[in-house]
Structure formats: structure tokens, C-alpha cells
Amino acid sequence: RGKHWHNMISTLVAKYVQSFGKARVVSRASAVRAVSAEKPAPFTIMNCLTHTAGLPYGTDFNQKPYSPETKSCYELVQSVESGKVRSLAHFVDELAKLPLRAQPGSYWHYSWGIDVLGRVVEVISGLPLGQFLQKELFAPLGMRDTAFSVPRDKASRLAAVYCNRESAQLMGVRAGSLPRGKEALCRIDGARPEESRWMAGRCCPVESGGGIMGANMGGLVSTLNDCARFFGMLLGRGEFGGTRILRAQTVEQFCFTDLLPACLNSGKQQRAWGAPLGWTALGEIGLPRGSRDATSDVKYNDFEPGEVGYGGAACTFWALNPARDTAILWFTQSLDNEPFIHDDESIYVASRAVLPRCVMRTSSKRRSAEQPHPRKRRRTTGSEGTAG
């Protein structure tokens, strides 16, 4: 399984999604849909995986378009919200009609690239994305509560989604209908679980591997227990509970290695927020910082070298630190409860203060990808409760 997918990582996306064979690129950064006469280079699966394909990204949570890019995507976002676009195949074909925001390989730019890869998986496997994930990942790992919707008989277990008053008003909720108080939690996914857009019968028809779709729906629903199994598999270099999902070499190469230099036309390291930016198949990876780099930026994740992590819209953050054999799960279900608000309150910084580095059993600096980790028990820290 691992070898089959590994060999296709540099394949052109247009081989599987032919509508991208006609892709165009904007004439300038300020253009909404005006395209350049120059045809863009074709982009690969790896470009989508690392957000270097030049693909755009739209708004969510009823946010109005605020840039040329989000203006170009607004009609597509609304088409998903209204139900006009009702499948991942339809969504990706409509996305292919929008111009790229940059030549593929120019730079890292967050996008709908992961959603495109979901469609590639459907084409190759011949299965809807949800069925493929259930067969190849969720069932083998015993992830019983992970899917694109919640069954009605599990409605009572669905955690609500919240935000603060300011965010709720930006989404168009009337101030008079919101609870009072600066720290008040404002529920934004219905008054009860049955009204949520993640309930079976009300869920988004576009099975989005990248996450949220439309205004406030789409993406997978899971629990801390299920996610702990998934991240435990990655810390186990592709194996969990005696079941192997991925080859150890695949996990090491794509999940714990900075992929950006190989995906950028310059071949150089990407920089963002005053420091080096690394990216893997999972998300951001911490890189060593030089004397001229920012030592800390409390607005963003502060990963130490080799630590990998990212997060979701409702502050469903996670991190994997192989050097400390640790998985962190921070699922608060609130748009405004991030884990890195202040240096002395950052969960990433706190974990490094109390968890020592693991001692390598080999004489080399890096453990072989095929060699089992010296610690059998995995540390997993997380917030209380279940998450949607």
C-alpha cells in the first residue's frame, strides 16, 4: 500500500483530474479573475500536499470576501453552502475553473490543495473519499467515531462549536441574541446537536479532506480517543496496536521531513513570520533558527526542530514531537481559544518544560526509520471531552 502511493507523489494532478489541464494563472496579485497570457506549469500531487500548487482558498464562517483571492472564490463557497455543489468531484471541477494565484512552485500559500488530493484518492481508488478512509485507515486503527457526519444515535456526544461575541457578530449573528459578557461562549452550530451541519442528513455533501466548507460545515468529525490512535500510529512510524498502516520510511520521509525545498522552484527554504517555515504532509514542522531569526512569535505555533503540528478552525490543534515521544491534542471547540496566546501559557512550550528528550539507543544522531522507538508507551496530552 505505502509503496503504491509513494511512487505517485510526483505525478501531475491533471492525470487524475483532467479539468486542471486547462489551468490558468492570474495576471497579477491584485487581479480577481483576470488571467495571464502565460500558461502555468502543471502541478503535482506533492505541490498540493505542501500548498505550493498556487491554488486559492476562500472564506468560511460567513466571512465576506476581503481580497482579490477570496472574491474569486466567493461564488464557489456560496455554491457549496446553498447545495448547488453536491460532491467532491463537482467542487474540484469548479475549483479548476478559477485561476491559480501563483505559478506552481513559487511559494507556500494555504489552499484547497488537500481537497484536490481527496478527489485524486477517489479517482485512483474508485471509492468515495469517506469509504476509502474508513476501509484503509479508520477501521484498521479502530477509529469508531471518525467520519464526515455523526449518526443520529450519537447526537448526544457531539460537542458544540463556540466563539466569542466579537467573532459571532462578524459572522452576522445579532448582538441581542448573544449571551452577554466579554468571555461569553456563543454557540454557532445550532441550539442543539440535531441542528448541527455535522449531523447525518444535514452534513455537507462535499467530503472535504481539507476541512471546513461553505459557511460552517464540512470536514471530518472525530474524538480525542480516535485522534490519539491516529497520531499514535504516526509516532509508531506507521504502526499501532500491531497493525501497520504505512511503511516506516514513508512516515519518516513525508511526515517528519521538511518538504518545501523540494517543491519550490528556487530550491530554497521558505520563510514566514520572521523565521524559517517548514512543511510536511501533516502540517508545519519546526526548523532550527539562526541568530537573525525571530526567537519567538506568540501569534503562531512555536515548534522546536523536528516537532510537527497544525490545527483546525475550531482550535482543534495537535502536535507530534518524536524527540520527546509526545502527542499533544488540544481540542477546545472554540474559534477563539488558541493554545499559544502567551509565551508562558503555550501548551507547546509547557510540554517541553516537563517532558525530557528521549535517549536514542543507536550511536547515530538520528534513529533509523525502520528501528522501533525505544519507548513503548506513548504520551498523549489533550483537552477534556469529545470533539466535532
100 strand-pairing partners: 25
Pairing of strands 326-331, 243-244: unpaired
Q: For cell 538520528, name the residue.
A: 366
Q: 380 φ, ψ to 5°?
A: -135, 120
Identify the pLDDT of residue 357: 87
Q: How many alpha carbons fall within 13 Å on the CB side of residue 108? A: 21
Q: How many CB atoms lie within 10 A of CB 183?
A: 8
333 neighbors 160 (Cβ within 8 angstroms): yes
Closest to 319 measured CA to CA, from 340, 348, 350: 348
End-to-end CA distance of the chain: 29
Written as nine digits, the cell of 167 is 467573532
* Type of residue numbered 58: G
Task: Please report the domains of the chain, with CATH numbers, ordered by start residue.
Answer: 3-126 (no CATH), 152-288+303-354 (3.40.710.10)
* Type of residue numbered 89: A
pTM of the model as a whole: 0.87
- Cβ neighbors of 34 (< 8 A, separation 6 or more) are 26, 27, 28, 99
Task: Report which secondary-structure segment, H or E, holds 225.
Answer: helix 224-235
Dist. CA 267–CA 251, nearest whole Å: 22
Identify the pLDDT of residue 376: 37
Going residue by residue through the chain, which has 388 residues, state the pLDDT in tens, using 9 for 90 and above. 545 545 667 899 999 999 999 999 999 999 999 999 999 999 999 999 999 999 999 998 888 899 999 999 999 999 999 999 999 999 999 999 999 999 999 999 999 999 999 999 999 999 999 999 999 999 999 999 999 999 999 999 999 999 999 889 888 888 899 998 878 899 999 899 999 999 999 999 999 988 889 889 999 999 999 999 999 999 999 999 999 999 999 999 999 999 999 999 988 888 887 788 999 999 999 998 876 676 655 445 578 899 999 988 888 889 999 999 999 998 989 998 766 555 566 777 778 888 888 865 443 344 333 333 333 333 333 333 344 4
- Cβ neighbors of 292 (< 8 A, separation 6 or more) are none
Identify the pLDDT of residue 293: 72
358 neighbors 324 (Cβ within 8 angstroms): yes
